[in-house]
Chain A
Amino acid sequence: MLELKDLGYRYPHTERPALAEVSLAVPRGCVMGLLGPNGAGKTTLISHLSGALAVQSGEILIDGQPLQHVRAKAPTRIAVAPQEQAFYPMLTVAENLACFAAAGGLSGERKKARIEACTSFSQLEQFANVRAERLSGGLKRRLNLAIALLPEPELMLFDEPTVGVDPQSRAFILDAIKSLAQQGAAVIYASHYMEEIEAIADRVAILDHGRVLRQGSLDELLSRSAMLLTLAADGLDEQKLSRFGTVEPGGVHWRVHLHEGIGPGLVLQALEAEGMAVRHAEFGRHDLEQLFMALTHRSLRD
């Protein structure tokens, strides 16, 4: 469905590209989780897909056709649910849906049917005549979702759609998005919440400094990641541990991403041989958050 080939973009008057050689593929029926710290390039990528930014280098293809051709011919094949509440607060839920349905080219019975379907899908029936500004945070997110679904898009982009909502609304939105993919849509889901990505994403791409650091299914990513050994012992330091792998400095607990071929037994044996009493040892692969933090080097971003 969606294929990005070596996509690059540099904003005017900046030294570093916002995107560099980004290649991704999102087939129909798949939820692609897009992870990245602030400034990683997620917004730039989404802006390309929404048509707000023109391609500078590389390609964006929809079913093999360049994106700009597809957008010119049928812009509603792609829908973006932006992070902001992109609707009119002074209009009611029904008025907002009617406005965006018409803007998406719907009319007559089809328009009426789509408004009803999206209202029902987002469970907004009893709020149809409530002004959007009077809705709770969760309901506003559901309205944002309903508007995105109006033209029955084939590719949907959700940019942090659960920010500021209660757990019930979050679970509802995640289930709804998952069901869209199950019905055959391709979905890109950008979020900072790892547990959300783990819950709904079939594939994950980790983006930082405009580049894709890793991509693949969740299992692939986690199985390819280094084995992590977490240790606590008196007298441990980076020098003693660095021969076994990459060390994350810690206070009490030291984390070592073990080099290929080195197992935890070898490390423990070597430390004991040096007379160190290991108080705590934990071994296993990264979870998504650990992988993300390891890849993006834990440094604070904007």
Chain B
Amino acid sequence: MLLALIKKELLALARDMHGLAALFLMPMIFIVLMSLTLKDIYRPPLAELSYAIDVRDNGTPAQWLLQVWRRSHGAPKPLDANWEAQLRSGALKYVIVLEPGLSAELESAALSTKAQIRLLAEPGIDANLFNALRAELVGASGELKARLALAVPGTSGPPPGASIQALVNAERYSTAGSRPTSVQQNVPAWLVFGMFFVVASLSSLFVQERSSGALGRLRSLGVSRLMLLVSKALPYLGVNALQAVLMLAAGIWLMPLIGGDALSLSGIHWGALLLALAAVSLAAVSLSLALACLVRSHAQAATVGPMVNVLMAAAGGIMVPKFVMPGFMQRLVEVSPMNWGLEALLTVLLRGGGVADTLPQVGRLVMFAAAMFVLAVFLFRRPAP
């Protein structure tokens, strides 16, 4: 009996093109689009921004600063007469103005009290990029000033490539050794989103069964409510597993083919990955069952499930990474089951975590799944209105 009911669910899903698209195509498209769009979020394209320099000081130290900047950012664009308009429109991303007196200031042993270098950025520039450019400019000019102040006449200069930058080594630390990329972030994010999207297909068929009388007919044949719920849960757990395989495969093999970074699974703890995926799947299917039992009409099924999903995604760090959110929002996202799932997967895929590291999120997901399943049973027992 259970196998026949599972087969019915799978046949119904296989013949629902919209449902299939929502479950498989949509997360795949999101992974590709968002990974490519956010490709540089972990590697800000500082060196690729078009810029110009307005040199109003022709002293040697100012020229040295210019050379240092050219080395790391390429040649500047010619400074046209309408450079201010170009900057406002974004044609130029930034302009560095070297004010008269800069060379004297760089040669002076005293710390600066007046701005001699102006960094003018286009209005829409990303705050992180702006801060990175500013920090780099401060660092380059500070280093130059220090070199000039400490230079001893008659001694040789520093070796090529030597810089105060060499003093600091900064890297994202991960025991798994996988390089943080937008793919590494977006595959788990949109995989979690896609897994929770089973609510749309599940509740749509459930409402159809109830309104057509098919569900009543199954009940009158003696099929228990528990059997009906289990026969719906099992195929969608399988659908979630298939989604996971396809989305991970897309990250590993498809993304490099279309110019993105490849998802790396090297060095990850496979048991932890499977555990995290299973917990996400249980939570997603149980939530879907509860919502399917809650809604009474096709209109409700078409809106409530996707709406809950989008809200959970928006407030769960799926659409906007948690680390760019303000403090209170970062605390808010911790109530979203999608965030628990995402954090569990990121723990495995980005941080090289094992089973024990994922347990806090996995525990929450399993408890959430149990609560939702109990709610589904309760709602299923409600008499028809």
The interface of chain A, by Cβ under 8 A from chain B, is: 50-52, 71, 75-76, 78-80, 82-91, 95, 98-105, 131, 147, 151
Chain B nearest Cβ from A184, distance in angstroms: 21
> A50-B220, A52-B219, A90-B11 provided; 18 other pairs, C-beta below 8 A?
A50-B219, A75-B221, A78-B220, A79-B220, A80-B217, A82-B217, A84-B213, A87-B214, A88-B12, A90-B12, A90-B15, A91-B8, A91-B12, A99-B4, A100-B218, A101-B4, A102-B1, A131-B15
Q: Which of B4, B8, B216, B384 contacts A82 (CB 8 A)?
A: B216
- Residue positions of B touching A, CB distance < 8 A: 1, 3-5, 7-8, 11-12, 15-16, 208-209, 211-214, 216-223, 384
Using CB atoms, name the residue of chain A closest to B14.
Answer: A90
The prevalent SS among residues of B at the interface is helix
Query: Which residues in B have their C-beta under 8 angstroms from that of A101?
Result: 4
Check A103 against B1 for contact (C-beta < 8 Å): yes
Neighbour of B4 across the interface among A75, A83, A87, A98, CB < 8 A:
A98
CA distance A131 to B100 in the complex (A): 83
Is the Cβ of B216 less than 8 Å from the Cβ of A86?
yes
Question: With a CB–CB cut-off of 8 A, which chain A residues contact B222?
Answer: 71, 75-76, 104-105
How many Å lie between the Cα of A101 and that of B5 in the bound state?
11
Q: Which chain B positions have C-beta within 8 A of A86?
A: 212-214, 216-217
Residues of B within 8 A of A79 (CB): 220
Cα of A91 to Cα of B220 in the assembled complex, Å: 20
In the bound complex, how far is the Cα of B29 from the Cα of A52, in angstroms?
A: 44
| Alpha-carbon distance A88/B222, docked complex (angstroms) | 18
Output the nearest chain A residue to B8 by Cβ-Cβ distance: A99
In the complex, the chain B residue whose C-beta lies closest to that of A74 is: B222
Q: Is the CB of B15 within 8 A of A76?
A: no
State how many angstroms separate the Cβ of A94 from the closest Cβ of chain B.
Answer: 11
Q: Verify A76–B4 contact, CB threshold 8 A.
A: no
Verify A105–B1 contact, CB threshold 8 A: yes
- Smallest CB gap from A75: residue in B: B222
The 8 closest A-B pairs by CB, nearest first: A102-B4, A75-B222, A86-B213, A84-B213, A82-B213, A50-B220, A86-B217, A104-B221
| Residue in B closest to A95 when the chains form the complex, CB atoms | B11
In the docked arrangement, what's the CA distance between A16 and B365, Å?
47
Q: How far is the CB of B6 from chain A (nearest CB, A)?
A: 10
In contact, B16 and A80 (Cβ under 8 angstroms):
no
8 A/B residue pairs, CB under 8 Å, sorted by A: A52-B219, A91-B11, A98-B4, A102-B1, A102-B3, A102-B4, A103-B1, A104-B222
Question: A90 contacts which chain B residues (CB < 8 A)?
Answer: 11-12, 15-16
Which single residue of chain A is at the shortest CB-CB distance from B222? A75
Q: Shortest Cβ distance from B222 into chain A, in angstroms?
A: 3
Expressed in whole angstroms, the Cα–Cα distance for A79 and B218 within the complex equals 11
A84 vs B3: C-alpha distance when bound (angstroms): 25
| Measured CA separation A83–B216 after assembly (Å) | 12
CB nearest to A73 among chain B residues:
B222
The minimal Cβ–Cβ distance linking A292 to chain B, given in whole angstroms, is: 26
Contact B216 A52 (CB under 8 A): yes
Which B residues are CB-close (under 8 A) to A84? 211-213
A101–B8 Cα gap in the complex (Å)?
12
A50 touches B216 (CB 8 A): yes
Which one of B4, B208, B221 has the highest number of Cβ atoms from chain A below 10 Å of its Cβ?
B221
Complex contact B214–A88 (CB within 8 A) = yes
CA distance A80 to B219 in the complex (A): 11
- In the complex, what residue of chain B is closest to A85 when comparing beta carbons? B212
> Chain B's nearest CB lies how many Å from the CB of A106?
9
Bound CA–CA A102/B223 (angstroms): 10
Minimal Cβ-Cβ distance residue in B for A87: B214
A131→B11 CA distance, assembly (Å): 11
Name A53's closest neighbour in chain B (CB-CB): B383
Query: Which residues on the A side are within 8 Å of B4 (C-beta)?
Result: 98-99, 101-103
**Alpha-carbon distance A131/B305, docked complex (angstroms):** 28
A131: B residues at CB distance < 8 A: 15
- Contacting residue for B8 out of A71, A76, A80, A95, CB 8 A: A95
